[in-house]
Chain A
Amino acid sequence: MSAERSKVTLVVDGVEVTADDGAMLVDAAKEGDVEIPVFCYEPKLGGPVGACRMCLVEIEGIPKLQTACSTPVRDGMVVYTRTDRVIESQSAVVEFLLVNHPLDCPVCDKGGECPLQDIAMGWGPGRSRMTEPKRHFRKPMPLSPLVRIDRERCILCYRCVRFSQDVAEDEQLQLLERGASSHVGTFDDHPYIAPFHGNIIELCPVGALTAEAYRFRARPWDIEDSGSVCTLCPSQCNVMFTVRDEHVQRVLARDNDDVDAGWLCDKGRFGFQMITSEERIVEPRVGGSRAGWEAALDAVAERLRSAGERTAAIVGGQTSNEEGYLIQRLLRGALGSANITSVDELEAGLARRLAAPELGAAVPDLDAAESILVVGTDPLNSIPILDLRIRRAIRQGRARLVVASERPTALDGGAEETARYAPGDAAGFLAALAAELGNRRQAGAGTPGRAADEVPGDGSDWAEGARRIAGELRPGKTVIVYGERLGRGPGGDSALASLLECARALDLATAGAGVIGVPEGANGRGLREVGCLPGAGPGFAEAPAGRGLDRIKQGLLDGELDAVVLVHADPIRNLPDGPGWAEALRRARTVIAVSAFDDASTETADIVFPAESYAEKEGTVTHPDGRLQRLRPAVPHPGNVHPIWQVLAELGARLGHETGIGSVPEAVATIAAEVPFYAGITPEEIGGRGVRWQERPAASAVAELAAVPPEQRTSRTNLDRDDSGTLTADRLRLGTYPALWADEITDRNVALRFLAPAQTVELAPSDGERLGLASGDEVEVRSNGTGVRARVALNERMRPGAVFLIEATAAENANALPAELNVEVIKP
């Protein structure tokens, strides 16, 4: 956290105002309740541009009027915002802005919430002397399938263009032409499609950029705003639902600099249509036919009672802490089963150590870090908002970024160094990095490490990358953003243990430094902390060892398990070895699914409960950096949907395990009582902005966790297999990755469907050449007799010998391939 800024005192319109030193006048004036109108000023976009000229004010001692948006305050400054000169300049600017504005407010979507309307009413001359014809553009044109552009309304404030240029850095949206013919556009009329482009709608101070989905849906006086948290991905951005007639019509960002810095990705912004989808499951089903709640609950209770400890549960990322807590309690308490896990399962000891409060970095720590290491994840795909955050940190010139990953990431361009290891080799690479960092620490900074000999595997390859990466990392001032999927698979534990060693070698247990794990599920961290982890109960308490994902699958296949409960989880689509899961679920005696939509897994389910959508849910979730956030219901439940916590509590009661939980606050209180580091937390304390448990006094309760002695590096590495660090030319090793738009959210939202990617196989150009493949070729990726069809994309930043497929696509899912590293790419 930065130090308190010093204060200065100035006089605005005769009122003495105290403001932060270096603050811009327009912000400082607010302290004195003086509003200075602005259009182009938006601190989220970076420095001021002074283009709209709306904020001109008079400053004593300066003959010319100055733009308040770009003038930093000084002590003793005397400012006037309502003198005749200033009023004249304001009315002049408004008059000029309206010269070419169509003034079609009644048909404009922005009408009623339009800064131009407000400022024209508040500061404008009230009439226009303009009698000439206005400029005309064809209108309103789709800028993308999600955004419409009406260039006639544009006042050329540059906000959208600056967003594209300076925030998302995609540089697709530009100002074209010059002077009075300037307009916002793209190259050669190509659509502007980028993961964050929806933000320009919210940035636009007029109705020039409007959302296709919200077009003419409501006026500000028709709607109610309801603040909550988006749980479509681990970013957990703070959102504001616009609700009309009990339907979510729009999602806006609810600025929370500690979480999202005021931005939303397009998935969060446009992914609300599924809430009102016709396809939603709105009634419980037993054996494929609709049933009442009583009948369904009875059926479930009966089956679970008979399955008893031979029950397992898999919890998906959209599950709230309360639901997670109750499902683990149902299993552990009512059924005596320890087989509870989430899609983000980690080995319990590692989970404990990774959750140590002093090791955890907060999202704002990225802003001040001197170096950032992104390892084993592509934030754009897995936690999009962090991608913007990291870009901003680099842009502001403080942080140096290094990326170590299997697959090229969207951040590579801004990275000082990138290291690419082969799919499945994360453990080896991290071990090399840990060794390198350890050596550097011992030798003192600056000495080149001599770790090569000690590194297992083919050291030359990993060690070189590790050396480059390590050279950029600043001890004590680094934030590591790692993908928790590093912990998957045979070498997973070893990879995370090495990561912990890296953190130790870098002294990351200090303020402003640390690690942020990127889970697969939106609430991956929270679910672990409330006990959805085999081998650890709420608060990582010691608990009887249970089965993890792989062993649950195996147990179902072997008949050792009878029942499985899937909460917001679709293992067939989303987990590796989808066919294995399909078989396992088919063989299971009882499958109980809680899901909002029908999917491959609910098809196998005997009993299906309708799930709430995130806009209907009440409860808490935990951000990957430990921030507890509140979900508040914005719309009522459709049809016969009941809150899942209620269903779970009721089930527990029917199975003879009374929880005493009758409301969400009671559930929160129960969790707070059981999880030591959540102690005393209440929904009120969490409030609208959330609270990081690491920053609460109760966090000391986990000091113990951190003190757990480092475990021996587990022997379960992949190194005992014949794959070593170097890839040979004749073998291709398969990696899979979660693409941003390859999930059920994209499929369920009509507006987003066009983004769903077709399966693509990425190859290094050298491999493509060797195999005679060019970009766009249709091929089959085969492994052990199973194949996935895909289109070839050659990527220069790929590591030779590796191929990548997208996970969880609607068709030709990479998860349909058996868990096998080596594949063939064949032209059919």
Chain B
Amino acid sequence: MRPTDELTAAERRELIASMRPEDAEGVPALGELDVPAALREQIETAMARYPQLRSAAIPALWAVQRHYGWCTPQGVREAAAVMGVTPAYLEAVATFYDLIATSPIGRHRILVCHNISCWMNGADELLGAFCDAAGADRDDADQHGASSADGEFFVKGFECLGACDIAPMASIDQRYYGPLEAADAVAAIEALRDGEEPLSDKALALRPAAGGPDPSATERAPDAEGHDA
């Protein structure tokens, strides 16, 4: 595609002629969509939780993403119908956030942090290792994320994931693992392919506080007594 690709007169006429007033996406009528019951229920639960229903926009998009794997136009339309907003509104919200996918992505989502601390500790190599292991394009992964050809993996170089202490690290299917080495990437991909829990020894949940389990100075805290009492 040329950078400033223009339409020929014929293409333009055709495009304009194809635009019908009924194509404009207003608030979809709930009755005309076959919204999956589970999805509808999740969205309605979210709407009920908040003082104002629009607060449920992000939970609704999460629900759509869980249901369809990514926020498909149909899914967004369904969520919009349940919420009584226009799909464009939800699309605007969805495209704002990094974790909501508005185009198809691989089944397992691997986010490799490549921000400052992780980069200093070798995140670029780690991202490369994940891409190689999963078969995703390295350059795309660094920018917008790349999916493997088999549709199993989505690898993305992510801006800070908030786990600089385990740099370099990655979030695999919403769980944090680190510090990782290139070999871990291969192991993780394999484990995911086999349907197993990846890198269970490197999960963030297992990591103790940096200062060690036995804090040496709590004597000065008088609330210790309060707590003991």
User: Do A and B touch, yes or no (CB under 8 Å, in the complex)?
Assistant: yes
Mark A residues whose CB is within 8 Å of B.
136-142, 144-145, 152, 170-178, 186-188, 190-194, 212, 741, 754-755, 757, 765, 775, 794, 796
Looking at the complex, which one of B5, B16, B20, B85 makes contact with A142 (CB distance below 8 Å)? B16
Is B6 part of the contact surface with A, judged by Cβ < 8 Å?
Answer: yes
Known: A139-B4, A172-B86. A145 touches B16 (CB 8 A): yes
Q: Is the CB of A187 within 8 A of B76?
A: yes
Known: A138-B1, A152-B4, A193-B21. A173 touches B12 (CB 8 A): no
Q: Is the CB of B16 within 8 A of A136?
A: no
**Cα separation A188 to B102 with both chains bound (whole Å):** 10
Q: Is the CB of A171 within 8 A of B23?
A: no
Q: Is the CB of B19 within 8 A of A177?
A: no
List residues of chain B with CB within 8 A of the CB of A775. Answer: 32
List residues of chain B with CB within 8 A of the CB of A194. Answer: 24
Stretch touching chain A among B88-96, B125-133, B218-226: B88-96
Closest to B90 in A: A187
**Cα separation A140 to B97 with both chains bound (whole Å):** 27
Known: A171-B86, A187-B88. A754 touches B1 (CB 8 A): no
List residues of chain B with CB within 8 A of the CB of A152. Answer: 4
List residues of chain A with CB within 8 A of the CB of B16. Answer: 142, 145, 212
List residues of chain B with CB within 8 A of the CB of A176. Answer: 91-92, 95
Looking at the complex, which one of B23, B31, B97 makes contact with A765 (CB distance below 8 Å)? B31
**Cα separation A194 to B73 with both chains bound (whole Å):** 21
Q: Is the CB of B31 within 8 A of A794?
A: yes
Looking at the complex, which one of A174, A191, A755 makes contact with B89 (CB distance below 8 Å)? A174
**Cα separation A138 to B89 with both chains bound (whole Å):** 23
> Top 6 nearest A-B pairs by Cβ distance?
A174-B92, A187-B88, A193-B24, A191-B19, A136-B3, A187-B87
Query: Please, could you name 14 A-B residue pairs with CB atoms under 8 Å apart, sorted by A?
Result: A138-B1, A138-B5, A142-B15, A142-B16, A142-B19, A144-B24, A152-B4, A170-B86, A176-B91, A176-B95, A177-B95, A177-B96, A187-B88, A193-B21
Looking at the complex, which one of B4, B87, B95 makes contact with A178 (CB distance below 8 Å)? B95
**Cα separation A142 to B32 with both chains bound (whole Å):** 28
Q: Is the CB of A193 within 8 A of B23?
A: yes
B residues 16-33 near A (Cβ < 8 Å) are: 16-17, 19-21, 23-26, 29, 31-32
**Cα separation A144 to B17 with both chains bound (whole Å):** 10
Q: Is the CB of B12 within 8 A of A142?
A: yes
List residues of chain A with CB within 8 A of the CB of B25. Answer: 172, 186-188, 190
**Cα separation A173 to B25 with both chains bound (whole Å):** 10
Q: Is the CB of A186 within 8 A of B88?
A: yes
- Shortest B171–chain A CB gap in Å is 20
List residues of chain A with CB within 8 A of the CB of B96. Answer: 177-178
Count how many chain B residues have C-beta atoms less than 8 Å from C-beta atoms of the other chain: 34
Known: A136-B4, A176-B95. A171 touches B24 (CB 8 A): no
**Cα separation A190 to B86 with both chains bound (whole Å):** 12
**Cα separation A757 to B20 with both chains bound (whole Å):** 10
Known: A172-B26, A174-B92. A754 touches B5 (CB 8 A): no
Q: Is the CB of B73 within 8 A of A188?
A: yes
Q: Is the CB of A191 within 8 A of B23?
A: yes
Closest to A178 in B: B96
List residues of chain A with CB within 8 A of the CB of B26. Answer: 170, 172
Q: Is the CB of B4 within 8 A of A174?
A: no
Q: Is the CB of B73 within 8 A of A187?
A: yes
Most chain A CB neighbours (cut-off 10 Å) among B12, B16, B73, B92:
B92
**Cα separation A139 to B4 with both chains bound (whole Å):** 6
- Shortest B213–chain A CB gap in Å is 41
List residues of chain B with CB within 8 A of the CB of A741. Answer: 21
List residues of chain B with CB within 8 A of the CB of A140. Answer: 6
Known: A186-B25, A191-B23. A171 touches B31 (CB 8 A): no
**Cα separation A289 to B184 with both chains bound (whole Å):** 91
List residues of chain A with CB within 8 A of the CB of B15. Answer: 142
List residues of chain B with CB within 8 A of the CB of A139. Answer: 4-6
Q: Is the CB of B32 within 8 A of A190?
A: no
**Cα separation A796 to B81 with both chains bound (whole Å):** 13
- Shortest A752–chain B CB gap in Å is 10
**Cα separation A685 to B31 with both chains bound (whole Å):** 55
**Cα separation A136 to B15 with both chains bound (whole Å):** 21
**Cα separation A137 to B3 with both chains bound (whole Å):** 7
Known pairs A171-B86, A187-B91; list 17 more (Cβ under 8 Å): A152-B4, A176-B95, A178-B97, A186-B88, A187-B76, A187-B90, A190-B25, A191-B20, A191-B24, A193-B21, A193-B23, A193-B24, A194-B24, A754-B19, A754-B20, A754-B21, A765-B31
Q: Mark B84-120, 1 if CB is under 8 A from A, else 0.
A: 0111111110011100000000000000000000000
- Shortest B117–chain A CB gap in Å is 22
Most chain B CB neighbours (cut-off 10 Å) among A137, A173, A187:
A187
- Shortest B23–chain A CB gap in Å is 5
B residues 177-210 near A (Cβ < 8 Å) are: none
**Cα separation A758 to B1 with both chains bound (whole Å):** 38
**Cα separation A137 to B1 with both chains bound (whole Å):** 11
Closest to B72 in A: A188
List residues of chain B with CB within 8 A of the CB of A212. Answer: 16
**Cα separation A152 to B96 with both chains bound (whole Å):** 19
**Cα separation A152 to B5 with both chains bound (whole Å):** 12
Looking at the complex, which one of A138, A145, A171, A755 makes contact with B88 (CB distance below 8 Å)? A171
List residues of chain B with CB within 8 A of the CB of A765. Answer: 31
**Cα separation A152 to B6 with both chains bound (whole Å):** 13
List residues of chain B with CB within 8 A of the CB of A137. Answer: 4
Q: Is the CB of B24 within 8 A of A175?
A: no
**Cα separation A177 to B4 with both chains bound (whole Å):** 20
Q: Is the CB of B23 within 8 A of A190?
A: yes
Q: Is the CB of B86 within 8 A of A187?
A: yes
**Cα separation A187 to B25 with both chains bound (whole Å):** 7
- Shortest B25–chain A CB gap in Å is 5
Closest to A741 in B: B21
- Shortest A762–chain B CB gap in Å is 12
List residues of chain B with CB within 8 A of the CB of A141. Answer: 7
B residues 69-89 near A (Cβ < 8 Å) are: 73, 76-77, 85-89
Looking at the complex, which one of A138, A171, A755 makes contact with B21 (CB distance below 8 Å)? A755
List residues of chain B with CB within 8 A of the CB of A191. Answer: 19-20, 23-24
- Shortest A162–chain B CB gap in Å is 12
Known: A145-B16, A754-B19. A173 touches B1 (CB 8 A): no
**Cα separation A190 to B1 with both chains bound (whole Å):** 21
Q: Is the CB of A188 within 8 A of B87?
A: yes
List residues of chain B with CB within 8 A of the CB of A190. Answer: 23-25, 88
Q: Is the CB of A193 within 8 A of B19?
A: yes
**Cα separation A99 to B53 with both chains bound (whole Å):** 39
List residues of chain B with CB within 8 A of the CB of A187. Answer: 25, 73, 76-77, 86-88, 90-91
**Cα separation A192 to B16 with both chains bound (whole Å):** 12
Closest to B5 in A: A138
Most chain A CB neighbours (cut-off 10 Å) among B5, B20, B25, B90:
B25
List residues of chain A with CB within 8 A of the CB of B23. Answer: 190-191, 193
Looking at the complex, which one of A136, A174, A796 makes contact with B31 (CB distance below 8 Å)? A796
**Cα separation A176 to B90 with both chains bound (whole Å):** 10
List residues of chain A with CB within 8 A of the CB of B21. Answer: 193, 741, 754-755, 757
- Shortest B142–chain A CB gap in Å is 16
Closest to A171 in B: B86
- Shortest A550–chain B CB gap in Å is 34
Closest to B19 in A: A191
- Shortest A214–chain B CB gap in Å is 15
Known: A145-B19, A176-B95. A171 touches B4 (CB 8 A): no
